[in-house]
Structure 1
């Protein structure tokens, strides 16, 4: 574990496990979580001989609670600072939800040789919010509701999201894990309210269309068809069409948080793509 200091003086916390000469796999978490959300996948890839790295986005988890920089350009620059500090080469970057947007922006701008492949899981690209250019998106009122709930009672909001749509626990017959809900709450409440508030705009209104077009490395786009946070039809299929070398993997009936609810399904698919 360690900390990288960015150009504006923000400390970015990261975990770095495994052989230093092994291929790096870098994990990018969703809102409002931390690198801990990837513990299952990090242990899985560690057992298969990879070097695994996960950072806490600025204002999230154990990273500094900065006053500003809570938008995608700065998030991507923070990742660049981390990869430069660790001198990561031929890395695979895997991002979930907001982290998928972070991956798209970083990989599109990365120094040649830094990135070998990328994976977007339940990711926000190309763009979430509804507009004339994106008629299938979610209305801005949805995200205004997120902001209002965060301001009114962040602690309760961070119970309601994982207990409901995030893991599909609001679906009939769902096998609910209180530990998973509590861990989501723990990660969320460890971050900064200002960072989480502004990150809602970053993940919902950022347009990643040009980023996706610029990415040259192979990209796996994995998405559950019952994703209630980032609806399937307005995300994964559209992203694949924009990528130069994209592959779509759909998971019938799986929720947004499928990496946690179904790691036995997702992890082997991730490993197979990385090993190709």
Structure 2
């Protein structure tokens, strides 16, 4: 099912929803210049949708969501967008953030805290951004794409985005998925692609204050977000559990969907049991 909610200022946030309405929600937050169907292998898993309500959002400026002119550098905008999605999804949600989605979750925690959450999953995620920020360390594929991938000039941005999509996808990522990633990147206006990188914010105190179960998932061969970013987040968050996907890259939920979905079901089920 496709639907939408209103974020701050009436910005329309598009959603993809699977599973029963009265089930424990899992909310998925995609990464930079992508969209909600990044999570297709999770939304299509009957073992997940039979037990949980799966809600995947398109970030503002991405996918089918509205594209406001400003606000991409404001943590509260991201926090309140996610809050609106959580209002729709229901209480005691598990939030799953991939790549830049981890920073959006950190923004939510910065503004709203953990009270409405049951748990957090960070997947190939950053939790900070800016030069020298340990929780936002880029790998060589991301560094190679910048700044060309942010350019307003098509002859500069398009080749960079093509190579970025190709280079972050391992042989275990279907070619159709890689091409869809490229399409989503091209659909995000260059002004938005650039605005997401014009931030400088740390999250050490935010992470240290997390008091809900956290699972950190990262591919050992991730060349977009450095594994050191996962080590940083796990080291700051009390009790965080790290699950390394050996030889996986930036897309462990695509490269090893069966293993990832099983891990997500286990984590979400355990946190649900703790809440009861």
- Which of the five TM-score ranges fits, normalised by the shorter chain? 0.7 to 0.9
Separation in 2 of the partners of 1:61 and 1:136? 24
Tell me the TM-score normalised to structure 2 length: 0.86
Find out whether 1:259 has 2:253 as its counterpart: yes
Partner of residue 226, structure 1? 221
Partner of residue 181, structure 2? 184
Separation in 2 of the partners of 1:135 and 1:191? 25
Separation in 2 of the partners of 1:19 and 1:134? 39
Find out whether 1:73 has 2:73 as its counterpart: no
Secondary structure in structure 2 of the residue aligned to 1:16: strand
- 1:133-162 Cα offsets, whole Å, 9 max, x none, are 7499459xx769623333143333322112
Worse-superposed segment, 8-17 or 54-63: 8-17
- In the TM superposition, residue 223 of structure 1 has moved relative to its aligned partner by 0.7
Does the 8 Å CA contact 1:122/1:223 hold for their aligned counterparts? yes
Secondary structure in structure 2 of the residue aligned to 1:217: coil
Partner of residue 118, structure 1? 120
- In the TM superposition, residue 129 of structure 1 has moved relative to its aligned partner by 4.5
In structure 2, the gaps of 5 or more residues are 271-276
In structure 1, the gaps of 5 or more residues are 169-173
Partner of residue 167, structure 1? 169
Partner of residue 171, structure 1? none
- 1:104-126 Cα offsets, whole Å, 9 max, x none, are 3224543665210110000012x
Separation in 2 of the partners of 1:91 and 1:68? 28
Mark the CA change 1:207 to 1:67 in structure 2 (over 3 Å): closer, same or farther. same
Does the 8 Å CA contact 2:220/2:249 hold for their aligned counterparts? yes
Q: How many residues align?
A: 262
Separation in 2 of the partners of 1:136 and 1:55? 22
Tell me the TM-score normalised to structure 1 length: 0.86
Does the 8 Å CA contact 1:24/1:90 hold for their aligned counterparts? yes
Q: Provide the alpha-carbon RMSD of the alignment.
A: 2.5
Separation in 1 of the partners of 2:106 and 2:126? 10
Secondary structure in structure 1 of the residue aligned to 2:191: helix
Does the 8 Å CA contact 1:76/1:105 hold for their aligned counterparts? yes
- In the TM superposition, residue 59 of structure 1 has moved relative to its aligned partner by 0.4
Separation in 1 of the partners of 2:188 and 2:93? 27
- In the TM superposition, residue 181 of structure 1 has moved relative to its aligned partner by 1.6
Worse-superposed segment, 72-81 or 33-42: 72-81
Find out whether 1:244 has 2:234 as its counterpart: no
Worse-superposed segment, 217-226 or 68-77: 68-77
Partner of residue 16, structure 1? 17
